[in-house]
Amino acid sequence: MNLDQKLRKKQYDQIWQQYCGFLDLPLAGFMEIQNRLMLEQLDLYANCELGWRIMKGKKPASVEEYRQDVPLTTYDDYADILLQKVESALPTKPVLWIETTWEGGDKPIKTAPYTESMIKCHKNTFITCMILATSSKKGHFTLRGGENFLYGMAPLPYLTGIVPHVISGELSINFLPPTNEAEKMSFGQRNKTGFKMGLQKGIDLFFGLSSVIAKISETFASGGSGSRSSFFKNSPKMNYRLLKAWSNSKHNKEPIRPKDIWTLKGLICSGTDSASLKKKIEDYWGVKPLEIFGGTEPTCIATETWSKDGMVFFPDVCFYEFIPKSELEKNIDDPSYVPNTYLLDELVPGNEYELVISSLKGGAFARYRIGDIFKCLSLGNEEEGVALPHFAYIDRDPRIIDLAGFTRISEVTISDAIKLSKLDINDWFAVKEFDEHNRAFIHLYVEVGAQGLHGAAATRDIIREHLSIYFRYVDTDYNDLKYLLGIDPLTVSIIPTGTISQYYDTYGRRLRKINPSHYDILKVLKISRGVNGKEVI
Amino acid sequence: MPLLQIFFWAVPIIALASYCLMMMFFFLSKKDKFIRVFMLLLAALIVWTASSLFMKMQLYPGVLFWNRAMVMGMLTVPFLLYCFISVFTNSINYLQLAFWGVLTVAAVVLNLFGLVVIDAGVLTTTVTEYGISFTSTEFYYVLGEMAPPLYIFMLIFMFFIIYKVRHYLKEGKTTYSQIVPIIAGLLIMFVGVIFNLIQAIGKYPVDILACFINALLIVYAIYKYRMLELRFMLTKGLVYSIFLVLLTGIYVYTVFFFEKNIGSLYQQLSTYFITFSALLIAVVFQPLYRFTNKLVDRMFYKADYSQRQALKQFSNSISNKLDLNDMAAELIGAVLQAIRAKEVLLMLKNEERAYYHVFCTSSKVCKPDIHIPFDNPIVKWLIGNNTSLTREELYSLPHFLSMWEKEKKLLNDMDIEVIIPIKSRKDLIGMLLLTDKINRTAYTLDDLDLLTYLGASSAIVFDNARLFNRAKAEALTDSLTNLYNHRYFRKALSEHVEKVGSAELSLLLFDLDLFKLYNDLYGHFEGDKALEKVASIMVRLVGQKGIPCRYGGEEFAIILPYFDSKRAYDLAEKIRLEIQRTFFNIADVTQRFLTASIGVCTYPHAAANGEELLKRADLALYTAKNSGKNKTVVYTPQFDFSPDETERNDSLSTIKPANTATIYALTAAIDAKDHYTFGHSQRVAEYATVLAGALGLDKSHLEIVKEAALLHDVGKIGIPENILTKTGRLTMEEYEIVKKHVEMSITIIKHLPSMNHVIPAVLGHHERWDGKGYPRGLKGDNIPMLARCLAVTDAFDALTSDRPYRATLNVNSALNEIENHAGTQFDPEIARLFISLVWEGAIEVDHKKTRNVL
């Protein structure tokens, strides 16, 4: 019996049990599932080329041995097999290859294999997210099938493109716009058409990147959504709602907000800036958004619960290990240092951790550093009755600057842009900062070289314009950021030449190029003031 | 009453009663939008039918009122039908809904204002013929000017609905099988409404009949689509009540009929008649009531009936059974009788291998080879819960998220629907796995309760049967190898010989070569492991074709019913080669060696009975042992003329001189290749004999150590001459080759008849006291004593001889070296004894004899 049939039979308790039952697991039960599925994965690794390579010819008999024997990996360890899609070398034959950009990698994209059971699992986890998005209390949800779903995410071959294809066999959902049409549209077109259809038919569910939802909501409120709809094509209910919203807006002299037109059952958001944008999204749409976390390599691995207050991990998607921030810092300063990892039942609330995943169900990745930082909020939520650790997504690995979930800027990206621009920049470092609207941007601190100091035009605006152009050139997603969200996410500050080397002389250690610690930035800025006696420009 | 009149009255009454019943059922059931819209449609149909009935009954306030109410019902039915279909196909178009809704409301308003039916009434005509008066009642109605357009509107609307359904079908919003009852209902209703226009037919309730059929078809569609459990809607109590009302009605009617008709004729007998008729009816109706009772019982509790029977039979039969196979068959039989599952599998616990295996199935042809390990979440769940586990639970409970894909696939491939624990206290003895039922209906809670009860009640009996079978098996099996023991072998041999009659039966007798030596070399623990390994090879290769038994010690026997000597020989060779492959690996010198000799004899060709078969197989085995071992010999009649046991001993003694000659021949052969070794072996033999004597060993051991010393370097025949005579230091590779001479010596000695006893000494003469020697790295006392003797004497002679790479040492220096290495390379006691023997002169060192020896 599929979900639709169960919904028709009003088997809501069974549905909750099936999809959200894992939230009732004790932590020991959660770990048992993790261990057993990891053993299955080890069994699969033992019979494939990738497994032999990753395991260095060993056959770990337990999860402890696996963690002891197998080193932490990055995409470079898989690139030759995965980029060429050598299926015979994998633990299980994949049925789909998912792509994404490879920030700072040798090739523009990276690919990840998806097995049949991984896709099944992904379908179930996403349905869980939909159920939780439409719930405000344990066991109560309003998902009924036949909902209009504004799906503002990328189509295949990106991860988010899987859902519309796999969910139809389980649940009748009207995607706005319909999947086959949406796949032919650009990102902007898709959102615009989706909204237009939403005005005609209504919207029950919405999934998008937090930054995009926030931007669309702002544009909508300012009346610039561009999605005019015909009165005759709209359903009477929508026409009534539009009229009511318009009259209220005139009466209160306030712009029409999405919540005046649509009463969403649930809103799902994702992306690096979700934490800072969730409140704003709730104000616009009238529902508390449900934050989820996923990625090409791990798939969708975490979701908030009905209280929408902290994420929990799914027990059967990946095997999770955590590198404490202090260990990560050591590893960044000394790449040869092998950081220790901890399991979910060994974490300390309040601490930040880098997530390390091992694919389950025949996936490819073993002890893979996905480069995302989470904060362990608590080891459980007594009020909810959930005895699993709750997390908040913090950011990408400090060596990467993620902007609105759209693009990830690494040291290589910035170096390439500087090199191509031919600007005489002696040294630099970059920091991710937020503006007054909680939008992320790169703050690039540069030291101008001798040529720049004598003769060549190297003002802050010139440098910023130049670098913007080359950023767009080396990173197409950066271009999308500007085009879709209308943000220019680059701010340049010039610091006196020699500041960074003086930092090294004073403190005996190199300054990190990307996201140096807050204290290091203060020290550098102090030096910059001290030496030349003037503020940073 | 004329038939037509019955039809006139019965149709609306039955339709109305059915509508009301349906309404009541739906009112009591869980409601969703389907049910709600259908209830609205039912309400309209009730208005239509009830008004028609009340009109015929001429109830207050009058015919015209009820006629208009009937028309109102007729007008609203198409719209509500349209709403229902929109919901059914999940394609609500609000604009169209509003359009038709407005038109319907307008039509209803027109009707209420009296623009559709202007007048309606009853015409009563009385005709008197032949003195008998006939009264006929006929309804008339006068239609207003709005009636034709409304009829047209209704027909268009109906046509539109049919068109829409066809459209939804094309769009794939619904399937043909789902929609067929609805289309049929619509067409019938459409025809019914058309008939209404024809005055001759329209005066009869054809339209109501059509609507009634339509409603029934819709209920069927909902049932089919929603899988409504009718059993839950139509309770047993309700059926009883209806039947009781009917019976009471008939009873009362009959009593009154008698009283009215017969009682009026015979007034004086009226009391008797009534009493009699009441009694008669009671007598006639009582069996009828009982029959109905049984019928209803069967209808509702058919499954329960067979379940009760199954339970009863099972309880009776298992109480006096101890055989696991019988028990399993009984349990599966009971389950099949009670539940009628397509297939039932019984899995029982295998403690040693830590899994549950299929012990018995309901299928006569296949018994799948599947295992469920103890760490499977299903096992854990069944241990923790005392109830059944359904497929639905398997896919929905988070506990089962840890199941491996192949575990899920296994259950999926077998179509397992329910798993029932067989638990004795906390011990999960086994589990019952059931596929879906033959009639494809779902498992009900009653089914699951019954199965759980069967599982629980059989657990203790199963546990007892398991213990009994274990005890029985232990009496017949060898505890080390798990093969049948000698006792069973003798019984099975005579039984099978009798059973095969004139067909063939072969017997294989195995004896492991040099097993005593194996035990001496590696210890009894390793010896036991070897026996287990040999047994497992036999079990694996023989499978179900024969009966492998442990005859005793290192002897095994395999009874092969219906095997001729050729097939028996082939199988014996297969087993022999597998044992050799497993234990004797030339590439790895540290690998232990073990071979088997096999004697084969076939009944009835070469033996007249079981006893003879055994005796002759033994003869063949003896021949195999004495003709080089590690071979299979098939018994042929000339063996009967072979020497008897005393002759065997004689023959053994005659072998001796031949061996001595062989030893000297071999040492001479080494001499030809490396003439230094010959003298070396001779001297080591002399030293070792004296040393062994001083250790207090008996004469036979002195003989053994002498022979071992003479043969200890015989393997050097296989080492290239350039290495043997190399003057410089040996490379690592060359040294590795030289080390192989020990293994080569063993290979040669194994082929000498009756020289096996020297193997331990030869094999161990390069072992060191500290365990750093070769080939096996034995340590301390684990090195056979004679080998320790050879080690000291071999080293001493080597030190006091000229070597291609080193000059000879004098005796003092050589003895110092021995002293220095006592406790590391040599057994300290033996080394010191040897030194004292040399000092005392018990061992004479002849320097003239020394040569360059490796």
Within the 83-112 window of chain A, which residues sit less than 8 Å (CB to CB) from chain B?
none
Whether B230 has a pLDDT exceeding 90, the answer reads no
Q: Print burial letters for A126-157: b (CB count within 10 Å at least 16), e (below 16).
A: bbbbbbbbbbeebeebebbbebbbbbbbbbbb
Whether B398 contacts chain A with CB within 8 A: yes
| Judgement on whether residues B401 and B494 belong to the same structural domain of the protein | no
CATH architecture of A401-532: 2-Layer Sandwich (3.30)
| Judgement on whether residues B77 and B199 belong to the same structural domain of the protein | yes
CA distance to partner chain A, nearest, from residue B424 (Å):
25
| Judgement on whether residues B527 and B398 belong to the same structural domain of the protein | no
Tell me the two tokens of residue B387: 């109830």
Cα A118 from Cα A114, distance rounded (Å): 6
Query: For residue range B95-104, what is the model confidence (pLDDT) as tens digits?
Result: 888 999 999 9
| Residue B32 with chain A: CB contacts under 8 Å | 8, 10
Q: What is the arithmetic mean of pLDDT over B478-494?
A: 90
Contact A33/B401, CB-based, under 8 Å? yes
| Judgement on whether residues B379 and B513 belong to the same structural domain of the protein | no
Nearest CB to A361: which of B375, B398, B405? B405
CA distance to partner chain B, nearest, from residue A119 (Å):
13
pLDDT-derived band at B231, boundaries 50, 70, 90:
very low
| Judgement on whether residues B62 and B97 belong to the same structural domain of the protein | yes
Whether B478 has a pLDDT exceeding 70, the answer reads yes
| Judgement on whether residues B764 and B799 belong to the same structural domain of the protein | yes
Give the rounded distance of the alpha carbon of B171 from its chain centre: 45
B531 vs B178: which has the higher pLDDT: B531
Residue B252 sits at the vertex; the CA angle it makes with B251 and B256, to the nearest 5 degrees, is: 120
| Judgement on whether residues B587 and B690 belong to the same structural domain of the protein | no
B474 vs B373: which has the higher pLDDT: B373
| Judgement on whether residues B763 and B784 belong to the same structural domain of the protein | yes
Residue A110 burial (CB < 10 Å; 0-12/13-18/19+)? buried
Q: What is the arithmetic mean of pLDDT over B521-545?
A: 88
- Computed over every residue of chain A, the mean pLDDT equals 87
Whether B396 contacts chain A with CB within 8 A: yes
B197 vs A127: which has the higher pLDDT: A127
Query: For residue range A133-185, what is the model confidence (pLDDT) as tens digits?
Result: 999 899 999 999 889 999 988 888 999 999 999 998 899 999 998 988 888 88
Nearest CB to A14: which of B98, B226, B396? B396
Q: Which residues lie closer than 8 Å to B235 by C-beta, 6 or more apart?
A: none
Give the torsion sign (CA, B761, B711, B595, B597). negative
Contact A29/B399, CB-based, under 8 Å? yes
Contact A40/B392, CB-based, under 8 Å? no
Residue B796 burial (CB < 10 Å; 0-12/13-18/19+)? buried
Whether B273 has a pLDDT exceeding 70, the answer reads no
Of the ranges A110-119, B68-77, B762-771, which is most confident?
A: A110-119
Cα B662 from Cα B657, distance rounded (Å): 9
B723 vs B503: which has the higher pLDDT: B503
Q: What is the arithmetic mean of pLDDT over B149-168?
A: 84
Whether B642 has a pLDDT exceeding 50, the answer reads no
Residue of A40, A119, A233 to mutate, interface with B, max B Cβ within 10 Å: A40
Residue of B392, B402, B410 to mutate, interface with A, max A Cβ within 10 Å: B402
| Judgement on whether residues B208 and B356 belong to the same structural domain of the protein | no
| Residue A235 with chain B: CB contacts under 8 Å | 94-95
In chain B, whose CA is at the least distance from the CA of A11?
Answer: B30
| Judgement on whether residues B450 and B505 belong to the same structural domain of the protein | no
pLDDT of residue A533: 43
> Rounded to a whole number, what is the distance in angstroms from the first to the last CA of chain A?
66
Query: For residue range B567-604, what is the model confidence (pLDDT) as tens digits?
Result: 999 999 999 999 888 876 544 444 457 889 999 999 98
| Judgement on whether residues B171 and B223 belong to the same structural domain of the protein | yes
pLDDT of residue B701: 84
- Return the domain boundaries, chain A: 1-397, 401-532
Residue of A32, A47, A360 to mutate, interface with B, max B Cβ within 10 Å: A32
**Phi then psi dihedrals of residue B51, to 5 deg:** -60, -40
Give chain A's length.
Answer: 537
Cα A416 from Cα A394, distance rounded (Å): 27
In chain B, what is the greatest distance between 2 CA atoms, to the nearest angstrom? 166
Q: Are B738 and B730 in contact (CB under 8 A)?
A: yes
In chain B, whose CA is at the least distance from the CA of A5?
Answer: B226
pLDDT of residue B302: 54
Whether A455 has a pLDDT exceeding 70, the answer reads no
Whether B140 contacts chain A with CB within 8 A: no
The CATH number that applies at residue B376 is: 3.30.450.40
Whether A188 contacts chain B with CB within 8 A: no
pTM of the model: 0.59
* Percentage of chain A modeled with pLDDT above 90: 46
Q: Are A429 and A500 in contact (CB under 8 A)?
A: yes
Which domain, by its residues, includes B263?
242-294
* Percentage of chain B modeled with pLDDT above 70: 79
Contact A36/B402, CB-based, under 8 Å? yes
| Residue A237 with chain B: CB contacts under 8 Å | 94
Query: For residue range A299-333, what is the model confidence (pLDDT) as tens digits?
Result: 999 999 999 999 999 999 999 999 999 999 889 88
Q: Which residues lie closer than 8 Å to B150 by C-beta, 6 or more apart?
A: B75, B107, B110, B111, B116
- Rg over CA atoms, chain A: 25
Q: Are B706 and B758 in contact (CB under 8 A)?
A: no
The CATH number that applies at residue B79 is: 1.20.1070
pLDDT-derived band at A420, boundaries 50, 70, 90:
confident
Query: For residue range B97-146, what is the model confidence (pLDDT) as tens digits?
Result: 899 999 999 999 998 888 888 888 777 777 776 666 666 667 777 888 88
pLDDT of residue A83: 93
Taking one residue from A and the other from B, the number of pairs with CB-CB distance under 8 angstroms is 54
pLDDT of residue B172: 64
**Of B294, B311, B336, the domain-final residue:** B294
| Total number of domains constituting chain B | 5
Contact A24/B95, CB-based, under 8 Å? no
pLDDT of residue B516: 76
B338 vs B648: which has the higher pLDDT: B338
User: Residue B315 falls within a domain, yes or no?
Assistant: no
Whether B854 has a pLDDT exceeding 50, the answer reads no
Classify B550 as helix, strand or coil: strand
Nearest CB to B398: which of A24, A40, A43? A24
**Nearest CA to A365 among A63, A59, A72, A36?**
A72
Q: What is the arithmetic mean of pLDDT over B326-352?
A: 86
Q: Do domains A1-397 and A401-532 have the same CATH topology?
A: no
Nearest CB to A21: which of B30, B226, B398? B398
Strands (E), B536-678: 547-552, 555-561, 595-603, 632-634
The CATH number that applies at residue B620 is: 3.30.70.270
**Of B433, B450, B476, the domain-final residue:** B476
Task: Examine residue A298 and say whether the peptide bond preceding it is cis (omega within 30 degrees of 0).
Answer: no
- Angle at which helices B176-197 and B147-171 cross, to 10°: 170
Residue reference for tokens 């829409």: B164
Nearest CB to A22: which of B94, B98, B398? B398
Whether B145 contacts chain A with CB within 8 A: no
Chosen CATH of A1-397 out of 3.40.630.30, 3.40.50.12780, 3.40.50.170, 3.30.450.20: 3.40.50.12780
Cα B472 from Cα B468, distance rounded (Å): 6
pLDDT-derived band at B268, boundaries 50, 70, 90:
low
- Computed over every residue of chain B, the mean pLDDT equals 80
Q: Which residues lie closer than 8 Å to B585 by C-beta, 6 or more apart?
A: B591
Query: Which helix H or strand E contains A16, and what residues bound it?
Result: helix A12-20
| Judgement on whether residues B90 and B176 belong to the same structural domain of the protein | yes
Q: Are A122 and A394 in contact (CB under 8 A)?
A: no
Whether B375 contacts chain A with CB within 8 A: yes
